[in-house]
Amino acid sequence: DTEVTQTPKHLVMGMTNKKSLKCEQHMGHRAMYWYKQKAKKPPELMFVYSYEKLSINESVPSRFSPECPNSSLLNLHLHALQPEDSALYLCASSPSGGADTGELFFGEGSRLTVL
Amino acid sequence: AQSVTQLGSHVSVSEGALVLLRCNYSSSVPPYLFWYVQYPNQGLQLLLKYTTGATLVKGINGFEAEFKKSETSFHLTKPSAHMSDAAEYFCAVSEVMYSSASKIIFGSGTRLSIRP
């Protein structure tokens, strides 16, 4: 069983909708990540939060808005998405920022379809 | 910047045969290296990692990998393939950023198929 929980598992939305993806971990990790994965491709880093502060934004379009309310929760707010944004969105966590080896613990993902 | 290259997007072996998945890295500093596995419609699971110390690393499900600095390689092996090993495998390198969280760079992935 994964210790990183993502909801919903599947989401279908129109281009004018506003929706959110949620991620939760209770391992005491202080770094959390959003990745986007297209079919038959590797995960692509979107955002990294370290100690609840945004530390990395990989030039992601503003229609994706991350939020880290506390060290256990990570949200990804979606607005005015395009069909090409359809993908598997993966959340991950790692023990800490700083001298962290970078081992990631992944959730099972939220599969997003934009119509 | 650090990067990894996986040779072969698809590898097919017979059940019971040796599995060899190739990964080469590029790094200006001693790297942290990982192999992750992804089963269909699931997230990624860590198979094994190299940080420091012993260059032969053993992981879960009978997999192991050897860090070879002279060859800048971190190939994944398993002596005897099982049908349940069929999945996508990603090699990854960690760019440690001491002022914030680490940045993980994934290779393009290798799909492993097992023939009965």
**C-beta atoms of A90 and B103 within 8 A:** no
A111 touching chain B per CB within 8 A: yes
pLDDT tens digits, A63-80? 999 999 998 999 999 999
**Alpha carbons A87 and A91: distance in angstroms, whole number:** 13
Comparing alpha-carbon positions, the chain B residue that sits nearest to A53 is B100
Mean pLDDT, chain B, integer: 91
Strands B87-95, A110-114: pairing is unpaired
Contact B111, B82 (CB under 8 A): no
**Alpha carbons A22 and B112: distance in angstroms, whole number:** 31
B62 touching chain A per CB within 8 A: no
B34 touching chain A per CB within 8 A: yes
What's the confidence (pLDDT) of residue B74? Answer: 96
Residue A42 has pLDDT above 60, yes or no: yes
pLDDT tens digits, B20-36? 999 999 877 778 899 99
Pick from A99, A102, A109: CB nearest B104: A102
What's the confidence (pLDDT) of residue B24? Answer: 96
At position B7, the amino acid (one-letter code) is L
Picking from B33, B53, B35, B52, the residue whose alpha carbon sits closest to that of residue B44 is B35
Contacts A50 to B, Cβ<8 Å: 100-101
